[in-house]
Structure 1
Amino acid sequence: MHKPRFLSAAVLALAMAAGGLAGAAPASAAADNPYERGPDPTNASVEAVRGPFATGEISVSSLLVSGFGGGTIYYPTSTAEGTFGAVVISPGFTAYQSSIAWLGPRLASQGFVVFTIDTITTLDQPDSRGRQLLAAADYLTGSSVVRGRVDGSRVAVMGHSMGGGGSLEAARSRPSLRAAIPLTGWNTTKIWSTVRVPTLIVGADGDTVAPVATHSEPFYAGLPSSLDKAYLELNGATHFTPNASNTTIAKYGISWLKRFVDDDTRYTRFLCPGPGVSLSVEEYRSTCPF
């Protein structure tokens, strides 16, 4: 099970003095969790189209990288509160990063560096998507022009469809990842008993490409019972719902990333006990408490 990793107040104070982090979080809050970013969350703030951070974006050419197909980096423009956790997102089968682009500025404005990627080929399988997500994560944290804004120890993966299956592959391959979020994921593998990464599975009740009965639900069941995990099934949704701006996906995706990438327990209340059945949610279950 994921355990929070905090810095001591003394170490944090030295880092702030060395880096000149004017306007950083108050010492008392920072001593409790130096990774908290942004004001206390509200229901309105996690559902908002834009969060409290102004963002910029940088295009990454496929000609300048290896192991994946380039992409776009979205990032908070101010580092006054320190560095940020990162999220790398893969599109689905036959799709390009444009299909998941809405997640870039939405997540970045909540305090993450986000990398929406293209893949080397649009026809590859989940294992390839998983390797490309990890290659993109390594580029983002090690070579990109925003690497100084990123805390390389706090990286998450997301993906839609084939990319969602790829995010599970990446989580299995790299247990140091802080979170994984497959969105209407597709993968022939159903058992994920070796995954140690906190995982939020998002399915859709009307998915006919990767039906929840044969994909998202078995994925959730196939993760260890001891793992921090949750299953969110969208109501009135299809396989392609994650390809357009969606408040439910954003709200619970942001909350999961905040809780496990940033160790920010302020967001636990959105996940535990989680949403009830509604016009947007068909089902929610989890291994609460986290």
Structure 2
Amino acid sequence: MHQHPHTSTADPTAYPSRTRRGRTGRFAQLAAALAAVVGLSTLTGPGAHAADNPYERGPAPTESSIEALRGPYSVSETSVSSLSVTGFGGGTVYYPSSTADGTFGAIAISPGFTAYQSSIAWLGPRLASQGFVVFTIDTNTTLDQPASRGDQLLAALDYLTGRSAVRGRIDSSRLGVMGHSMGGGGSLEAAKDRTSLQAAIPLTPWNLDTTWPEVRTPTLIFGADGDTVAPVSTHAEPLYTGLPSSLDRAYLELNNATHFTPNSSNTTIAKYSISWLKRFIDNDTRYEKFLCPLPQRSLTIDEARGNCPHTS
């Protein structure tokens, strides 16, 4: 960036006064350049990384910031009537209130079998306050199967980016899906059908299809050790192993948890979901340290698998 200071090849002993002035001038130039750089970094602060990654949003993360009930962004919400959309059952959009940071990535989230968006509503403001537009949806019927829920997640994303009141706040190239139970199975269906998705997070997923060679989307699967509805041995674990081994993928089995653990506020689900979404939707490598190395077994995590470090 900076021009090299001019250097003379003349004999320094022949022109002592000029040489001293030249050195003094060069020192002054360097000092001024240094002061300019320091001043620039002071002005830009946490946003100094933006030039390297234009998708980076929010301050540098800490363990406490990703575990917090709310992140750095104030959140607004708007209801979407089922009568105003096609392909899914409406829902609620949660989004950062400020437009000062530009556009955000967006995530659609499906509830499970017989459930409504209220069962996953806690994820809306929790994720949106970290810098995402989040759409918790209702399905066309509460009995819809995973493949249908996958189609509905994609229809919801298309509505968000194409017709919604917040479409101007969304970067349509940075989208992801989540879902609980059959909605979790649906998030895999969505990733299979639309390989451009940047992240998928199935929560205690249910899907009888356990082979997913088509998926190209970085996928984090949560299982629960006490799940009797979608036991990990026949759902979450084979869904994980059915993903391509070369894919950025992870499996976290929640300790002392049930199939319905994702239906209420849960710090472990939130912190690793936030980290996964930030890492792959925002390409924000500041969150890599929370994902790799893999979390250790703890009071809340029974088992962790995955490929580290991440490649994409």
Q: Same fold (TM over 0.5)?
A: yes
Larger relative contact order, structure 1 or 2 (CA cutoff 8 Å, min sep 6): 1
- Matching of residue 227 in structure 1 with residue 240 in structure 2: no
Amino acid at match of 1:271: L
Q: CA deviation at 1:79?
A: 1.4
| Inter-CA distance 26–239: structure 2 relative to 1 (3 Å threshold) | closer
Amino acid at match of 2:246: S
Whole-Å separation in 1 of the counterparts to 2:130 and 2:245: 30
- Matching of residue 43 in structure 1 with residue 63 in structure 2: yes
Whole-Å separation in 1 of the counterparts to 2:155 and 2:114: 20
1:281 to 280, 284, 301: 301
The answer for the alignment partner of 1:88 in structure 2 is 108
Whole-Å separation in 1 of the counterparts to 2:46 and 2:103: 16
2:144 to 124, 138, 153: 124
The answer for the alignment partner of 1:108 in structure 2 is 128
1:175 to 179, 190, 195: 195
Q: CA deviation at 1:27?
A: 6.6
Answer whether contact 2:223 2:232 (CA < 8 A) is retained. yes
Answer whether contact 2:46 2:59 (CA < 8 A) is retained. no
- Matching of residue 258 in structure 1 with residue 278 in structure 2: yes
Answer whether contact 1:24 1:81 (CA < 8 A) is retained. no
1:201-260 deviations in Å (ceiling 9; x for gaps)? 100000000000000000110000100000000000000000000000000000000000
The answer for the alignment partner of 1:154 in structure 2 is 174
1:55-85 deviations in Å (ceiling 9; x for gaps)? 0000000000000000000000011111000
| Inter-CA distance 256–240: structure 2 relative to 1 (3 Å threshold) | same
Q: CA deviation at 1:25?
A: 7.4
Q: CA deviation at 1:189?
A: 0.1
| Inter-CA distance 26–41: structure 2 relative to 1 (3 Å threshold) | closer
1:31 to 38, 51, 62: 51
Whole-Å separation in 2 of the counterparts to 1:27 and 1:206: 43
1:101-139 deviations in Å (ceiling 9; x for gaps)? 000000000000000000000001000000000000000
Whole-Å separation in 1 of the counterparts to 2:225 and 2:154: 30
Q: CA deviation at 1:30?
A: 1.2
Q: Which runs of 5+ in 2 are unaligned?
A: 1-42
Whole-Å separation in 2 of the counterparts to 1:67 and 1:243: 24
Q: Give 3-state SS (helix, strand or coil) of 1:167's partner.
A: helix
Answer whether contact 1:201 1:220 (CA < 8 A) is retained. yes
Whole-Å separation in 2 of the counterparts to 1:177 and 1:36: 18
- Matching of residue 208 in structure 1 with residue 228 in structure 2: yes
| Inter-CA distance 273–287: structure 2 relative to 1 (3 Å threshold) | same
The answer for the alignment partner of 2:261 in structure 1 is 241
The answer for the alignment partner of 1:217 in structure 2 is 237
Q: Give 3-state SS (helix, strand or coil) of 1:104's partner.
A: helix
Amino acid at match of 2:54: P
Q: Give 3-state SS (helix, strand or coil) of 2:233's partner.
A: coil
Answer whether contact 1:41 1:267 (CA < 8 A) is retained. yes
Whole-Å separation in 1 of the counterparts to 2:73 and 2:294: 25
Answer whether contact 1:25 1:81 (CA < 8 A) is retained. no
Whole-Å separation in 1 of the counterparts to 2:258 and 2:190: 24
1:66 to 86, 99, 117: 86
The answer for the alignment partner of 2:40 in structure 1 is none
Answer whether contact 1:85 1:112 (CA < 8 A) is retained. yes
Answer whether contact 1:84 1:111 (CA < 8 A) is retained. yes
Identity of paired residues, percent? 75
Matches within 5 A, 1:51-62: 51-62=71-82
Whole-Å separation in 2 of the counterparts to 1:286 and 1:194: 18
The normalised TM-score by structure 2 is 0.85
| Inter-CA distance 25–264: structure 2 relative to 1 (3 Å threshold) | farther
The answer for the alignment partner of 1:15 in structure 2 is none
Amino acid at match of 2:82: S
Answer whether contact 2:46 2:60 (CA < 8 A) is retained. no
Q: Give 3-state SS (helix, strand or coil) of 2:220's partner.
A: strand
Amino acid at match of 1:283: E
Amino acid at match of 1:276: Q
Q: CA deviation at 1:274?
A: 2.3
Q: Which runs of 5+ in 1 are unaligned?
A: 1-22
